[in-house]
Chain A
Amino acid sequence: MSLPRLSTLCRIAIAVVFVIAGAMKLLHPAAFFADLLSYRVPLPEMLLRLVTVWLPWLEVLCGFGLLVNRWPETVRPLVTALCAIFVVMLAQAVIRGLDLNCGCLGTGGAGWFARPGIALLRAALLGGGSVYVMLRSPS
């Protein structure tokens, strides 16, 4: 497969994941907030509430931006930054041995698929793909 094609494929795959993840979180914000609380990060509750309502919309917008390849020089680094935050959050949960649902797909992901270790692997793959897409020229 040629490199521009691979880059386009990666971009579309990441876009679809972001749109679906954002939409699933939008459906049940209270459940997503409970998932965020279970990460036990030392942040004010009000900030976590803001993240609960803000992150899904940001994911959906970034997903659409990637999908239609709009504002690539801005959307791609933003997606990479979001993936980096996901990796850090999940890595600290894995290191601390927290037993939680990752909340990546709202209430849609449950069981082994939502375990922190599996979610960390997914986030790392997503992050790697987003770095690859970011470093490629807009295609």
Chain B
Amino acid sequence: MTAGSLRARLLASLRAVRIGRLATLLLVSLALALAGDWLRTERVMFPAPLPVFRTLPR
């Protein structure tokens, strides 16, 4: 395979990408990532949940 044909095949592969499917993959993974981070205690993206303060009964 020559460098020219390799480049042509690479470009053809890139042109074959379906934007809708790519967007679906990216958005689904982003949604899973954000939901996963929100639901775990060891958060990276969102700030950690505030501690719950309770008033002691008299």
Contacts of A135 in B (CB 8 A): 6, 9-10, 13
Contacts of A10 in B (CB 8 A): none
Contacts of B33 in A (CB 8 A): 50, 53-54, 56-58
Q: Establish whether residues B13 and A58, one from each chain, have CB atoms under 8 Å apart when the complex forms.
A: no
Size bracket, chain A contacts: 20 to 34
- Give the A-B contact count at a CB cut-off of 8 A: 70
A105 within 8 A of B: no
Q: Establish whether residues A74 and B29, one from each chain, have CB atoms under 8 Å apart when the complex forms.
A: no
B58 within 8 A of A: no
Rounded to whole Å, the gap between the CB of A2 and the closest CB of chain B is 18
Give the docked Cα–Cα distance between A19 and B36 (Å): 17
Write the residues of chain B forming the contact surface with A, with a CB cutoff of 8 angstroms: 6, 9-10, 13-14, 16-18, 21-22, 25-26, 28-30, 32-34, 36-37, 40, 42, 44-45
Write the residues of chain A forming the contact surface with B, with a CB cutoff of 8 angstroms: 26, 28-30, 33, 49-50, 52-54, 56-58, 60-62, 65, 71, 73-78, 131, 134-135
